[in-house]
């Protein structure tokens, strides 16, 4: 590489896996393939802009033909860490490989943990079982409104979630309850995230609000975000990225409430950045469609993103690189409403990116973080094999 990038814009399409993780069966996810199975379920996906970058050259997706001359570079990644959750995926992208998974509670949280929370918070809870967030408020929402007791639940992910109606428990109090839970959940019970899940409306029309807030466990060591920031460059968060890293390693944060806002914010941050990384998460794929087993909604969200992809490409300067990827799968065509262990795609574009380059199947998500710091010419002590030299054009 002859010159460094001015800015790298890394966008995670949350849960947009492509299937075929070698160890999927060990996670009970054999056969899960989020994008291919969605395409099959809806009779094909229309993603011409992602296809032009090389998406169809990575994996067979109905409606997404391989490009004869891809405009971008393309490849795939396999996760090394033993997990399939948001925190694990994003942390590995940023250079942290976990040696053990975050704890899961398929039968609910232990009584002693719940009792400790109730004593500290001065409340009695409802729930304490694994459930879909939309289903548990249907089941327990009326009782919650009658009693004022918060709804505590988990999922197939390593999370302690608290749902509360905004007219029963004000947002500030819900956030306080989540902070109390985060303080308690340490040691063997150190879940990846505590999540505030406010909802509103009448019992026959409950809906979750956009004021979700994640309380992540802090990363155990420095990430590529810390290294980029320490080098004097900017690190701009878009969406829930700031929460996933417990607010560490950033110079700016830009909260969003939808994919559409996240795309607009990424463009704005690209234009505002002097030099550095824009790191964005588009959560709707996972939150609104994957967890709700809605392949049609997921397909529509993918196609909506694809329609706006030219705006992102047009926002790139001469020395900027756009990278698209995912953090895990969440196949809405399977009976499970949980994340799935899948490979993820990598697409890269920009005037300095060599079109049509296949960077292959990377053996760890850390390769992407190593590539980002390499593009920005920042020294790194973290694991990962950079593919920046394959990605970028050489000078004459």
Instruction: Answer yes or no: do 133 and 234 share one domain.
Output: no
Instruction: Answer yes or no: do 86 and 174 share one domain.
Output: no
pTM: 0.93
CATH number for 184: 3.30.70.1250
Candidates 105, 109, 107; CA nearest to 125 is 109
Instruction: Answer yes or no: do 203 and 125 share one domain.
Output: yes
Can you list the alpha helix ranges (DSSP code H) found in 316-394? Answer: 366-375, 388-391
Instruction: Answer yes or no: do 226 and 374 share one domain.
Output: yes
Residue 377 burial (C-beta neighbours within 10 Å; 0-12, 13-18, 19+): middle
Instruction: Answer yes or no: do 212 and 226 share one domain.
Output: no
Can you list the alpha helix ranges (DSSP code H) found in 71-110? Answer: 86-93
pLDDT tens-digit profile of 240-289? 999 999 999 999 999 999 999 999 999 999 999 999 999 999 999 999 99
Per-residue confidence (pLDDT) for residue 267, from 0 to 100: 98
Full domain range(s) for residue 181: 111-216
Domain boundary among 167, 183, 216: 216
Residue 130 has pLDDT above 50, yes or no: yes
Instruction: Answer yes or no: do 187 and 154 share one domain.
Output: yes
Q: Are 302 and 331 in contact (CB under 8 A)?
A: no
Predicted confidence band at 156 (pLDDT cuts at 50, 70, 90)? confident
Domains identified in the chain, total number: 2
Candidates 247, 12, 220; CA nearest to 97 is 220
Instruction: Answer yes or no: do 204 and 236 share one domain.
Output: no
Please report whether residue 304 resides in a domain: yes
For the chain, the C-alpha Rg in angstroms (whole number) is 21
Q: Are 317 and 134 in contact (CB under 8 A)?
A: no
CA separation for the pair 305, 76 (Å, rounded):
20
């Amino acid at each position: 590489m002859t010159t460094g990038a001015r800015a790298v814009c890394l966008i995670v399409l949350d849960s947009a896996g492509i299937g075929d993780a070698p160890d999927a069966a060990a996670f009970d996810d054999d056969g899960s393939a989020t994008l291919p199975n969605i395409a099959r379920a809806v009779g094909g996906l229309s993603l011409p802009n992602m296809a032009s970058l090389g998406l169809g050259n990575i994996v067979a997706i109905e409606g997404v033909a391989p490009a004869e001359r891809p405009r971008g570079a393309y490849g795939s990644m396999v996760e090394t860490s033993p997990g399939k959750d948001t925190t694990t995926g994003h942390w590995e992208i940023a250079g942290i490989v976990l040696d053990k998974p975050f704890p899961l509670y398929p039968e609910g949280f232990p009584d002693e943990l719940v009792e400790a929370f109730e004593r500290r918070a001065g409340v009695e809870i409802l729930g304490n079982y694994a459930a879909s967030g939309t289903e548990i408020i249907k089941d327990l929402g009326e009782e919650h409104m009658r009693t004022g007791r918060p709804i505590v639940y988990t999922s197939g992910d390593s999370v302690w979630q608290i749902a509360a109606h905004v007219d029963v428990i004000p947002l500030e109090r819900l956030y306080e309850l989540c902070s109390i839970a985060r303080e308690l959940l340490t040691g063997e019970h150190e879940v990846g995230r505590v999540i505030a899940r406010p909802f509103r409306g009448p019992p026959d029309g409950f809906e979750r609000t956009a004021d979700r807030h994640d309380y992540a466990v802090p990363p155990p060591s420095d990430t590529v975000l810390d290294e980029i920031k320490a080098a004097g460059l900017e690190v701009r968060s878009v969406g829930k990225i700031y929460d996933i890293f417990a607010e560490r390693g950033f110079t700016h944060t830009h909260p969003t409430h939808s994919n559409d806002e996240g795309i607009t914010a990424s463009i704005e941050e690209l234009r505002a950045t002097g030099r550095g990384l824009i790191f964005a998460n588009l959560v709707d794929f996972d939150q609104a469609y994957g967890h709700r087993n809605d392949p049609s909604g997921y397909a529509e969200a993918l196609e909506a993103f694809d329609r706006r992809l030219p705006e992102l490409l047009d926002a790139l300067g001469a020395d900027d690189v756009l990278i698209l990827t995912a953090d895990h799968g969440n196949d809405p065509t399977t009976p499970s409403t949980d994340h799935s262990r899948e490979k993820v795609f990598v697409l890269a574009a920009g005037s300095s990116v060599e079109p049509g380059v296949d960077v292959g199947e990377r053996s760890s998500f850390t390769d992407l973080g190593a590539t980002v710091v390499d593009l920005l010419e920042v020294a790194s002590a973290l694991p990962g094999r950079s593919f920046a030299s394959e990605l970028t054009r050489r000078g004459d």
